Structure 1
Amino acid sequence: MKAARVLFVAPHPDDECINAGGLLSMLLSLGHEVHAVYMTDGRLGSPRPEERGDALAARRRQEALKALDVLGVPRSNAVFLNFRDGELINHVGEAARTLSDVLTSLRPDLVIALPQLRAAPGPQGLGAGNRRGLKGLRGQG
């Protein structure tokens, strides 16, 4: 079997492990190449408002890189788009263009993305951005 290039599109740092860590680990064990793109910075990822902001975004980025280390994904396979957590819905066009650029550059065989609708406000723009980004690849290959 030919090794596949897999891309996980994560709304925030940590979603790759929480939502697909077992799957990504299995894909790696089968010899597939795994990449992750993080759409938002995760700055709102605490129930305590005083913990939210730039410091939390930086910590979540470092935690995501450590999680990739544990999975066995090279850090160079991580792309952080750094849209502000909770504001992705306001940047769907820009997110779609940026994601389309990542997809065009990486040319993954498989893209794994979370469903469009979730309770948190940040990922709501993810589904629309994913659809627009993927539409840009139609007919390219």
Structure 2
Amino acid sequence: MEFIYSRLDNCILFDKLKNEEISKTLAYMLDFKEHENLVVIPKPHSIEISNAEICIAVIFYVGFEREEYEAVKVKNNFHIVVFESIMLSLCEFEKLPLKFIDYTALFFMSLARTEDKKIREFLSLMNLRGNNTVYHLDK
């Protein structure tokens, strides 16, 4: 793991967004299209995930609106994402088109979209009915 940011949470987020499955899922959640060859770049106030078709700025520090927003807003199909709902209420970001994504939603969407056979097998456990005895007695 790279320790680029002062907060450990942001370092972990950067590390996880470098996972192709997770970054592709985040892009899919934003415009419902599949994206390949996404590049994850650390920025001073955000993490940029982009290719020629999409640009995502995951922001977590005040200062993005002054230093990074101008460069992002001219890019094709840009999205500004926050994972902390408190960011939506900050006056610094009130004029920015922020999109809130819940970590749990990204987690479950990544699981649902994975092609990894082992993970698919674990997910199939959710389809098992744990209390079949009671189920059959109800009939």
TM norm. shorter chain > 0.5: no
- Structure having greater relative contact order (Cα 8 Å, sep ≥ 6): 1
Using the size of structure 1 for normalisation, the TM-score is 0.30
Q: Which has the larger radius of gyration?
A: 2
